[in-house]
Structure 1
Amino acid sequence: MRVRVVAASAVTGAALTLASVGAAQPASAAPSQCLASEADIYAAAPASIDGDPGDLLACRQVTLPGVGGVRAKAWKVRYVTTDVKDAKTVATGFVAVPEAAWTKSGSRPVVAFHPGTSGLGPQCAFSKQMTGAYVDHYEGPNVAEFLKAGFAVAAADGPGYIDGKVHTYMVGQSAGKAVLDIARTSRQIPGGSLRSDGKVGIAGYSEGGQAALWAAQLAASYAPELQVAGAAAGGVPGDLKVTAERLNGGLFAGFAADALVGHNAAYPDMPFDELMNDKGAKAVQDAKRLCLFGTLGRFLGARVENLTKDKLTLDQIWQLRGPDGTWGELADRSKLGVDIGAPGSSATYQIGFPVFQYRGALEEIIPTETEDATRAAYCKAGINTTWNKSYVGEHLLTDWLAAGDVTRFLNDRFEGKPVTGNC
């Protein structure tokens, strides 16, 4: 924040003190006002991060030109979360609250939201695009749908959109934690109106769908204090190996490229850079600087075999071992529907609220067999699951076609209406 000196030194000192309140700082000194600069929000993480997951580190009041048709107060936020190895790290996102009063019973609910693929470049962060630095994002109408219904929205960028880091794209557990943690953060905005007794809904599509289901699976163990009422997830790449095999060499190979680079960001000690030939090294750098459509264009038809020194296939890459296991084992850690169950079961991940899963009838990016298999795993585990695969759209269009159903599903959960699912 820039301060203009217009009076005596006493006034100047007071102004500088006020400016320092909003700067990025450890959670033990949470801001009392949202006066952080843009640079503060996305600054590199300190060597040591104090506080608990979800603690607010810095905030900045913003407008949402990327979200049309609704009046809302909004803040960019910087907060504590944990990575795939349970180490504390910093994540970013935004919180939006409708200006219209909440007139229904209880406290205003919040939708913890993760967007679909944004791209790995630092300029691609969802919180940047929705607050005026638009590149090519498409989720604004979905955020608007929630706000029009009266829900607050806590939208996670996903881990890694800070200086010196790379987004850990498609690393499911860290994405799920970032979603749950920003729900916690949303209640800490200085002067904000969200209360800790408000219900929470979880939502996301595509990359966001994977994050949403991981948040659902982790909620009971990672954030038991949150009153999660339901989760909605569509276009879900439930098995990364199956998805990568389908994407490799195709029209949408850019998603696979981002996933490989994102996993390298999450597991930097695993073999990666040394596997690349010159073309592959250039491809990695390109992936780290591009947003969604730039990535898809850059990697159109690309095959991983052509980017590695030994022309490694995906099957061979899965077998490569490093300090964290094999690459295949790490990809499988993000597989959805494994060791899940109802509350009171012996499952690692216990889900005690209804879940809505969906996909388009004309899906052309995510293999439908893995989307269907995720739903089947939830049904087999006894999770209250509602399923819809009748949307007459391909991958992107289905995100918008389902928005009304997602909002109604969450609204019914916030109101405590029963749902039996259709397993």
Structure 2
Amino acid sequence: MRRVLAPAAALAILCGAAAPTALADAPQRGDAPCSATDEQIYTPPAQLQGKPGDVLACAPSEFPKIPGNIPKRSWKVQYQSTDVRGTPVAVSGLVAVPDVPWNGPGPRPVVAFNPGTVGLGPQCAYSKQMSGAYDDAYELEQLAAALKAGYAVVATDGVGYLNGQQHTYMVGQNAGHALLDAARAAARVPEAGIAPEAPVALWGYSEGGQAALWATQLAASYAPDLKLAGTAAGGVPGDLRMVGNALNGGQFAGFAAAALVGFHAGYPEMPFDELLNDRGREAVGKLSGSCLIDTIFGFSGERVEDYTLDGLTPDQIYELPGPDGTTWGQIADSHRVGDGIGTPGSGAAYEIGVPVFQYRGAREQIIPVPTEEQTRDAYCRAGIQTQWKPDVDGDHLIAAKNAIPDVMAFFASRFAGEPPTGNC
């Protein structure tokens, strides 16, 4: 960044509506030009009949919040993805391509990026913040670093930021699908000039780190067409039960509360509304419209128990079953990062054939260190080529910025086809 991070700006690096209507014009597909309105970008189509990664709408956008004055061409996009139930869903995001020739070997690489927590409100969508449509947008350096290296960039907003929707915060499989389909969509933006065979690297921190590793785990089965080169994931909240229990009642309790709202959006059949007292219903309404800063400072020190009729703790909520007998805890555990992984040909549920770089801040204060180490250990036990850096200078807030040189070096080695190295 061009200045030292102020506290509020540093927070933006964290694991950070109208009723839906049909598009006024038919969704853009195939080779149609990028000429959608903002309303079309952020309004889901009445029906989705294409395939994952199809570009449904796109429009040129300058994205002035990307620092560095890097010459680029950029677009807002709406594209098709798949939710945790296998249902087609529309997702928004952004694509940016450096306006300089690519001089490396092969086609210009693509970095598919999932931002950290930005908040649940529709106005908080990353592509809106980066275009300056939201007054509290912050300058972030991740995209600038990738663009400066000559890579094309696609950043997903994640599932649930379109009009009339609710972000499915921390539903890992939704996030993984959305990130993989963003990479597909980048090559289908008709004016971007990104080759379908371009190598792809995945990147995310905190909420984005969970998304990046879930995308890595799903890639072989869900997106075998992508030429995945590697994944960088930092500050990963791998075990949601552990994270939720640690955050509840603490300074960053808003993230735990937001995750409950996000999972309710992803699993609306599970018990939720009937558990809430008046204060809980008020909190859900506030969280659903809040961005990062209000999520943190508006809920600091709050406890989930105070929002429920029976004073339920997170552990008690995990034990509650839904209509088919599946409990909230089983659903949370199904999104734990690192379970069921293995190398290609291992027969594991999630076969991973690319190296990963995992990292965390040396003074981590938000995500429990044991879950970050647990995720790394799971990857090592499974035989995944893993680089691990547990001592990035700074706490959770600052480590995202300070790790950028390490991430760029990892991506450069992956795109150059160098032999992977690990330190398991």
Tell me if structure 2 keeps the 8 A contact 1:31–1:58.
Answer: no
Tell me if structure 1 keeps the 8 A contact 2:129–2:138.
Answer: no
Match of 1:417 in 2: 418
Deviations 1:266-310 (A, max 9, x none): 011111011100000000000000000111111111100000001
Structure 1's unaligned 5+ residue stretches are: 1-21
Give me the identity figure in percent.
Answer: 54
Deviations 1:320-341 (A, max 9, x none): 1113611111111110000100
More divergent stretch after superposition (287-296 vs 129-138): 129-138
Aligned Cα root-mean-square deviation (Å): 1.3
Q: Is 1:65 aligned to residue 64 of structure 2?
A: yes
Deviations 1:355-414 (A, max 9, x none): 000001100000000000000000000000000011121001000000111111011101
Match of 1:7 in 2: none
Report matched runs for 1:214-233 at 5 Å. Answer: 214-233=214-233
Match of 1:44 in 2: 44
Report SS of the residue matched to 1:390.
strand
Report SS of the residue matched to 2:119.
coil
Q: Is 1:335 aligned to residue 340 of structure 2?
A: no
Q: CA deviation at 1:71?
A: 1.4
- 2:313 partner letter: T
Deviations 1:183-207 (A, max 9, x none): 0000111222100111000000000
Q: Is 1:179 aligned to residue 179 of structure 2?
A: yes
Match of 2:393 in 1: 392
Report SS of the residue matched to 2:375.
helix
> What CA distance in whole angstroms lies between the structure 2 residues aligned with 1:135 and 1:210?
27
> What CA distance in whole angstroms lies between the structure 2 residues aligned with 1:226 and 1:208?
19
Q: CA deviation at 1:64?
A: 1.3
Report SS of the residue matched to 1:361.
strand
Deviations 1:31-71 (A, max 9, x none): 6111100010111342x310001101000100011101111
> What CA distance in whole angstroms lies between the structure 2 residues aligned with 1:134 and 1:415?
38
> What CA distance in whole angstroms lies between the structure 1 residues aligned with 2:408 and 2:81?
26
More divergent stretch after superposition (30-39 vs 217-226): 30-39
Q: CA deviation at 1:136?
A: 4.0
Gap change, CA 1:24 and 1:412, over 3 Å in 2: farther
> What CA distance in whole angstroms lies between the structure 1 residues aligned with 2:187 and 2:25?
18
Tell me if structure 2 keeps the 8 A contact 1:232–1:356.
Answer: yes
Report matched runs for 1:71-150 at 5 Å. Answer: 71-138=71-138, 140-150=140-150
Gap change, CA 1:392 and 1:251, over 3 Å in 2: same
> What CA distance in whole angstroms lies between the structure 1 residues aligned with 2:137 and 2:237?
19
Structure 2's unaligned 5+ residue stretches are: 1-22
Deviations 1:81-108 (A, max 9, x none): 0111010011000000000110111000
Gap change, CA 1:358 and 1:227, over 3 Å in 2: same
- 2:317 partner letter: I
Tell me if structure 2 keeps the 8 A contact 1:83–1:174.
Answer: yes
- 1:55 partner letter: D
Report SS of the residue matched to 1:392.
strand
- 2:355 partner letter: P
Q: CA deviation at 1:134?
A: 3.9
TM (normalized to structure 1)?
0.93
Gap change, CA 1:24 and 1:308, over 3 Å in 2: farther
Match of 1:352 in 2: 353
Match of 2:164 in 1: 164
Q: CA deviation at 1:135?
A: 4.4
| Number of equivalenced pairs | 400
Q: Which structure's CA Rg is the greater one?
A: 1
Match of 2:10 in 1: none
> What CA distance in whole angstroms lies between the structure 1 residues aligned with 2:93 and 2:405?
23
Structure with larger RCO (C-alpha < 8 A, sep 6+): 2
TM (normalized to structure 2)?
0.92
> What CA distance in whole angstroms lies between the structure 2 residues aligned with 1:25 and 1:133?
25
Tell me if structure 1 keeps the 8 A contact 2:35–2:58.
Answer: yes
Report SS of the residue matched to 2:166.
coil
More divergent stretch after superposition (324-333 vs 132-141): 132-141
Tell me if structure 2 keeps the 8 A contact 1:45–1:89.
Answer: no
Tell me if structure 2 keeps the 8 A contact 1:118–1:137.
Answer: no
Report SS of the residue matched to 2:216.
helix
Match of 1:235 in 2: 235
Report SS of the residue matched to 1:337.
coil
> What CA distance in whole angstroms lies between the structure 2 residues aligned with 1:24 and 1:166?
24
Report SS of the residue matched to 1:119.
coil
Q: CA deviation at 1:23?
A: 6.2
Q: CA deviation at 1:219?
A: 0.6
Q: Is 1:268 aligned to residue 268 of structure 2?
A: yes
> What CA distance in whole angstroms lies between the structure 2 residues aligned with 1:23 and 1:402?
43
Match of 2:379 in 1: 378
> What CA distance in whole angstroms lies between the structure 2 residues aligned with 1:400 and 1:205?
10
